Amino acid sequence: METEATPQILVVEDEEAIAHGLKFNLERKQYRVDVVGDGREALERTAERKYDLILLDVRLPGLDGFEVCSELRRRQDFTPVLMLTARSQPDDVVYGLKSGADDYVTKPFELGELLARVEVLLRRRQWSKTATGEAERGTAGGRFEFGPFWVDFETWQAKTLGGVVELSRKELSVMKVFAERPNQVISRRELLAEVWDLPNHPNTRVVDNVIVALRKAFEDNAWRPRHIHNVRGVGYRFVP
């Protein structure tokens, strides 16, 4: 990874033992780490300085993790967010992704997995910076049109059934793969490799979650999709 500086991570976690453990282990990986214990403080801190990644617990005093993440996105702050969700609350994942989180790890988490996801998101951030730079230099303006919709890869905005909205980083990245390879069969595994950087990850549910969100945005009948088609047992085919 090209690093201009040491990546700065903000940990938002009210349970002191967990926060302390995360800080310790992230610092061992040579990241710079700040810790805050509630949602409001997280918003204050992120308004003051730019982080490369936010590790955001869902259950927090005051504002919860979903509210913090939504507010960040509303402010046009697209710092990658890795959410810590409760395994006992499967809906957390859906709410988390809806609120604009880039990825999630369920608690109790395995340290190795968490650190791997942190690394992937930081690498993605680098990629995203580069991709944005390329789009700015291009003449196409980074806008991809299909049917009555469009996706703007520069501004992250998209015209959807519900009007113009901001896509999450993952939604945008999946749309980018679709835009580059229209009418082709794209496997879940390829998407995991290209968008999540996890070619050998056994769980493809993260892919399906993003597809669900994209269908909500672009398909008036998710059971008879016009654009995002299932290819049984393999993955998807995007038809512009």
Give the nearest distance from C-beta 115 to Ca ion in angstroms.
20
CB-closest chain residue to Ca ion: 59
Under rule CB under 5 A, residue 103 binds Ca ion: no
CB nearer to Ca ion: give 63 or 195.
63
CB nearer to Ca ion: give 62 or 189.
62
CB nearer to Ca ion: give 43 or 151.
43
Element (H, E) at 47: helix 39-48
CB nearer to Ca ion: give 37 or 77.
37
Angle, vertex CA 113, rays to CA 43 and CA 22, nearest 5 = 45
The shares of helix, strand and coil residues in the chain, as percent rounded to the nearest 5, are 45, 20, 35
Q: Which stretch binds Ca ion (CB under 5 A): 6-14, 161-169, 191-199, 220-228?
A: 6-14
> Among candidates 193, 158, 192, 177, which has minimal Cα distance to 237?
177
Sign of torsion, CA 171 177 181 187?
negative
CB nearer to Ca ion: give 96 or 142.
96
Give the sheet arrangement for strand 149-152, strand by strand. Answer: 143-146, 149-152, 157-160, 163-166
Spatial distance between the Cα atoms of 202 and 183, rounded to a whole number of angstroms: 26
Give the nearest distance from C-beta 65 to Ca ion in angstroms.
8
- Determine how many CB atoms are found less than 10 A away from the CB of residue 83: 27
Query: At a CB cut-off of 8 Å and minimum separation 6, what does 44 contact?
Result: none
Q: Which stretch binds Ca ion (CB under 5 A): 43-51, 56-64, 111-119, 189-197?
A: 56-64
Give the nearest distance from C-beta 54 to Ca ion in angstroms.
15
Helices (H) and strands (E) counted in the chain, each on its own, are 8, 12
Q: Residue for token digits 């709410």?
A: 95
Give the nearest distance from C-beta 39 to Ca ion in angstroms.
10
Q: Which of 59, 189, 215, 229: binder of Ca ion (CB under 5 A)? A: 59
Number of residues engaging Ca ion in binding (CB under 5 A): 3
Under rule CB under 5 A, residue 14 binds Ca ion: yes
Under rule CB under 5 A, residue 57 binds Ca ion: yes
Under rule CB under 5 A, residue 216 binds Ca ion: no
Give the nearest distance from C-beta 84 to Ca ion in angstroms.
8
Positions in the binding site for Ca ion (CB under 5 A)? 14, 57, 59
